[in-house]
Structure 1
Amino acid sequence: MDVEEALKFTDHLALTTTGKHLDSLQKAILRGAWDNQKYKEIAQEHHRSEKYVKEVGFKLWKIISSALDDQQLCKANFRAKLENLQASNIVSLVGNGCIHIGNISAENVHSPEVSQPEPQDKDKFNEKTSNSEPKVHLDLGDAPEPNLFYNRTSELTTLKEWILENHTRLIAILGLSGIGKTALTLQLIPQIQHEFDRIIWRSLRDAPPLASLQTDLIQFCRGGAPVPAPYPEERATTGGLPLLEYLRSHRCLLILDDIQTIFSSQQLAGNYQPGYENYGAFFKQIAESSHNSCLILLSWEKPREIAAVEGENRPCKSLQLNGLGPEAQEIFREKGLAEPEKWSELIDLYRGNPLWLNIIATLIQDLFGGSVSEFLSYDTLFLGDLESLLQQQCDRLTASEQQVISWLASAIEPADISKKPDNLQLSPPELLKVMQSLGRRSLVETVKQNGRSHFTIEPAIREYITNKK
């Protein structure tokens, strides 16, 4: 067995255990382990910190150990273990990517575009090593590679309570780009996966029609078997009845990412693009119909249907994800920034958004040699690569929203919307609609002053809006 065969084999183990292929860093760790490299050497070659590489490696050895039912497997003995398995004819690799593990074999293909093995064959690979644990079918092919996760204990607890105890059927996790919606959900999955028969992650970044998405989801719920023809297309476009049949017969966790791509730009938040209005009926039916499955939506914007059906004692909830607190300091440690006493100011300026802080920390390292105080000495709030991210979100605004957010950006103190300026040509009802829409886009912050709600925007958004004028 050479290193390429070892990578192919371990990639297959990872895919059948977690539903995802190995990422580039995991492969680098395996290559390094094969060649007896130290973590420090691997980290230097791939421009990562040694601590981070060790954390990724620790999780990787757990995955492989669980798949092989070998709790002693680690970086030091990885190569020897695999070579021993091959020598014992427990593991063999043959042509066309087919892997044999003992008396079990399966083709090493799990792309959504490729026909999956029949359900009875897939069970053998998705079955955990302990026979006491339920079989879980995972397809996380559309999920991005997980980044370093920062403490979200309270949010994880809330989500687990909603899903496992309250049997919430529809959950929207909302927030600005980079706030951590994806990382939180990826962290949630292994903590609840054994409560479900099937878990699937799909991104709507290419805005698939609802009928196409449902065909894909139904095929997965059927264990990879093709959807019977003729497919009742008219049912797929009126609320998702065929899929509901499978959500009742199996407990499924469905995760749909990038929901904002099916919404129209230059319209108030949550308005669907032409031809995608049936998604609204679909979301509403998932929330209101009787079944034991759960649909999680990840979005920059809050779908209108969520606001209409969510509630304390109702099977639909939304989680507005806010920025990190002191735990965001781990980002600065990872980037090697100096002056820890200044880090809290950085976190506040960029509202604890993990992606924003990563971008700014890189900028500080590149331009200021890691000196936070030198960076903070400038009067202007640097945005750097943040500008393109903020542009994506602000370009979606209507003309009325742009007027209001410009007013909020110019206000020194949080604004009272009952005292709008004369040049803001909006009636009170129109202004309320705009404020509601900006809130659903996570672009405004609410501050209580003297018992009344006042509104402001984050410093980075303020800087971006001001620079555009």
Structure 2
Amino acid sequence: MEKPRKTAIFSQVPTLEEPRIDANILIRLLQVAIDRDFEAAEVALLKTLIQDPCLNFQAVADKTGYQMYYLRGQVGPRLWADFTEVFGRSYGAEIGKRNFGDFIHCFLEKLSLMPNSFLQQDLEQHQIAQIFEPGEGEWAIAPSESWFYGRSKELDSLGKLLSQYRLVTLIGDVGVGKTALAARWTERFGAKSFDRVIWKSIAHAPEPDILLNELLQEFEVKELPQKLSEKMSVLMQIIKRQRCLIVLDSAESLIRTTAITALDPYTSPDYGRMIRFFAEEPHQSSLLFISRRRFNDVLRLSRANRAAATMRLEGLQPKEAQRIFEAHGLKNSSDWQRLIQIYAGNPQYLISISEYIQTVFSGSVQEFLRCDTVIVPDIVCQEYITQIQEINAEHRALLFHLAALKDPVHFDQLVVNLATSMKSQSALIKALNDLTEMNLVEKQQNNAILFGLNPIVKKVILSFPFIGGS
């Protein structure tokens, strides 16, 4: 079979505001980009998802006539692997079912910025594959997700903070949508509000010196200074001249979990120095840290001179969460609120559990709830295991004690129960504070203040007792 070597796109690129997308044209472009023809099942899957990326595999199967397990297990993975190989680096994320809608959205957006002379020529593979490459004055597309429900108030709040403060931290639980919210804001408003947007994941906890080098290279600084202070000064001069947004994702990697955090909170002491420098020195730019944990330096700065602020992202509101269930075709809407309560409105949890319910129980929420169990998505489970393994022995003892309890408990009872594993009441207070900040312990406040675990954390701890260590 002859490979699709090149193609003319079309005289008029569909804009993002148009209600319909020409799926055939998009599929032809994607075929040229990955340098092979799609099979019939791949075309069917792509056409259906281009029109409605929120559909699950069962819904796609119903529309196309192919078996759900075939689409999910064979057809989809091959497409995602090919797209990631060609577009993954320039798009900024691995491409899969969950962010396919966003990938297509960004693809069309980039096409709409191309001149007509580019669009009307016969394009070859490398030209289409490079559509995501940022040109002069552009910024790389931030990673995002096709699932994004509501959050209009949160988008507005984040925008106000970024317009008022030099340093902002966006914190929240695993899967609550911190990265998706920040990415959606930069997608919609970044180019209008800032001259330049730079997005970097620092999950690998780079040394401050290396991180500064990478940021300076993003600004095309040719000769990098040797000393840390000089690098900070050069970056400061840049963000004084230009209005820039620098987003550092997975910033919790910079916070130590096994040390005396009040005295030595960061993986490198220079990070504290950098945070204070970029918050206190006047400039016209903003730094956004996306993190599961709060930065105490940011909290202190916000109290002192309002140069910094923290925004905590909570779960979805019920109406927003219900849109996830509707998109997945779940039944028994009267039981949906119970699901929202169990999973605290966390969108990643709700999407995963909806897929389980659709596949195993044909969409019946009632049948799933009858099992009286909690399912933790694999990726979320692994993140919690890693997080718990990194904390010290006293903190783990507290978590395992709370997991063994049926109901939340008062502080006084914890003092009695943990008399042998906690050195003092002050140690218990610090442990509760740290674990609450890490979103591992929940505090309930009605007539009395009680401490416990949410169902997800409890399930992980009870299912994987080895994370308790020796």
For this structure pair, what is the TM-score category when the shorter chain's length is used for normalisation? 0.7 to 0.9
Q: 1:459 aligns with which of 444, 450, 455?
A: 455
Report the CA distance between 1:48 and its aligned residue: 4.4
Report the CA distance between 1:414 and its aligned residue: 3.1
Report the CA distance between 1:50 and its aligned residue: 4.6
Question: Residue 392 of structure 2 aligns with which residue?
Answer: 398
- Is 1:436–2:433 an aligned residue pair? yes
Question: Residue 148 of structure 1 aligns with which residue?
Answer: 147
Q: Deviations over 1:17-67 (max 9, x none)?
A: 99xxxxxx99997116899x9xx9956358848522797598458625741
Separation in 2, partners of 1:463, 1:108: 44
Letter in 1 for 2:454: E
Q: Contact 1:335 / 1:361 at 8 angstroms: preserved in 2?
A: yes
Task: Output aligned runs, 1:29-44, within 5 Å.
Answer: 30-31=26-27, 44=45
Letter in 2 for 1:139: A
- Is 1:371–2:364 an aligned residue pair? yes
Q: Contact 1:268 / 1:398 at 8 angstroms: preserved in 2?
A: no
Separation in 2, partners of 1:198, 1:153: 23
Q: Deviations over 1:388-417 (max 9, x none)?
A: 233133223221111222233334443322
- Distance change in 2, residues 1:62/1:110 (3 Å): closer
SS, match of residue 203 in structure 2: coil
Separation in 1, partners of 2:24, 2:170: 33
Question: Residue 138 of structure 1 aligns with which residue?
Answer: 139
Q: Contact 2:27 / 2:46 at 8 angstroms: preserved in 1?
A: no
Q: Contact 1:168 / 1:294 at 8 angstroms: preserved in 2?
A: yes
Q: 2:245 aligns with which of 225, 241, 253?
A: 253
Q: Contact 1:179 / 1:353 at 8 angstroms: preserved in 2?
A: yes
Gaps of 5+ in 1: 19-24, 71-80, 87-91, 100-106, 117-121, 127-136
Separation in 2, partners of 1:363, 1:59: 27
SS, match of residue 200 in structure 1: strand
Question: Residue 318 of structure 1 aligns with which residue?
Answer: 310
Which stretch shows the higher mean deviation, 61-70 or 293-302?
61-70
Letter in 2 for 1:300: R
Separation in 2, partners of 1:26, 1:297: 38
Question: Residue 331 of structure 1 aligns with which residue?
Answer: 324
Q: Contact 1:446 / 1:456 at 8 angstroms: preserved in 2?
A: yes
Report the CA distance between 1:435 and its aligned residue: 1.3
- Is 1:420–2:414 an aligned residue pair? yes
SS, match of residue 330 in structure 1: helix
Q: Deviations over 1:284-330 (max 9, x none)?
A: 21111111100000112222322321249612111111111221222
Report the CA distance between 1:241 and its aligned residue: 2.5
Letter in 1 for 2:151: R
Q: Contact 1:29 / 1:42 at 8 angstroms: preserved in 2?
A: no
Question: Residue 228 of structure 1 aligns with which residue?
Answer: 223
Question: Residue 173 of structure 1 aligns with which residue?
Answer: 170
Separation in 1, partners of 2:200, 2:294: 18
Task: Output aligned runs, 1:284-299, within 5 Å.
Answer: 284-299=276-291
Separation in 2, partners of 1:148, 1:4: 33
- Distance change in 2, residues 1:162/1:387 (3 Å): closer
Letter in 1 for 2:45: Q
Separation in 1, partners of 2:266, 2:398: 24
Q: Deviations over 1:166-195 (max 9, x none)?
A: x20111111122110111001111224222
- Distance change in 2, residues 1:362/1:268 (3 Å): farther
Separation in 2, partners of 1:41, 1:180: 29
SS, match of residue 380 in structure 1: coil
Given the two structures, how large is their TM-score scaled by the length of structure 2?
0.73
Task: Output aligned runs, 1:79-94, within 5 Å.
Answer: 85-86=120-121
Report the CA distance between 1:69 and its aligned residue: 7.3
- Distance change in 2, residues 1:358/1:68 (3 Å): same
SS, match of residue 311 in structure 2: strand
SS, match of residue 319 in structure 1: strand
Report the CA distance between 1:154 and its aligned residue: 1.4
Which stretch shows the higher mean deviation, 257-266 or 395-404?
257-266
Report the CA distance between 1:150 and its aligned residue: 1.3
Separation in 2, partners of 1:359, 1:392: 20
Separation in 1, partners of 2:30, 2:376: 42
Q: CA RMSD in A?
A: 3.9
Q: Contact 1:205 / 1:258 at 8 angstroms: preserved in 2?
A: yes
Aligned residues: 397
Task: Output aligned runs, 1:230-309, within 5 Å.
Answer: 231-235=225-229, 240-267=232-259, 274=267, 276-309=268-301
Report the CA distance between 1:445 and its aligned residue: 2.4
Separation in 1, partners of 2:113, 2:131: 18
- Distance change in 2, residues 1:58/1:423 (3 Å): closer
Gaps of 5+ in 2: 32-37, 56-100, 466-470
Separation in 1, partners of 2:207, 2:376: 36
Higher helix share: 2
Separation in 2, partners of 1:26, 1:204: 38
Q: Contact 1:269 / 1:441 at 8 angstroms: preserved in 2?
A: no
Question: Residue 74 of structure 1 aligns with which residue?
Answer: none
SS, match of residue 138 in structure 1: coil
SS, match of residue 53 in structure 2: helix
* Percent identity between the two aligned chains: 26
Question: Residue 446 of structure 1 aligns with which residue?
Answer: 443
- Distance change in 2, residues 1:199/1:372 (3 Å): same
Letter in 2 for 1:206: H
Q: 2:402 aligns with which of 401, 405, 408?
A: 408
Separation in 2, partners of 1:255, 1:337: 36
Question: Residue 63 of structure 1 aligns with which residue?
Answer: 109
- Distance change in 2, residues 1:149/1:312 (3 Å): farther
Given the two structures, how large is their TM-score scaled by the length of structure 1?
0.73
Task: Output aligned runs, 1:79-228, within 5 Å.
Answer: 85-86=120-121, 97=126, 108=130, 122-123=135-136, 126=137, 137-140=138-141, 143-164=142-163, 167-189=164-186, 190-221=188-219, 224=220, 226-228=221-223
SS, match of residue 157 in structure 1: helix
Report the CA distance between 1:420 and its aligned residue: 2.0
SS, match of residue 194 in structure 1: helix
Separation in 1, partners of 2:340, 2:22: 30
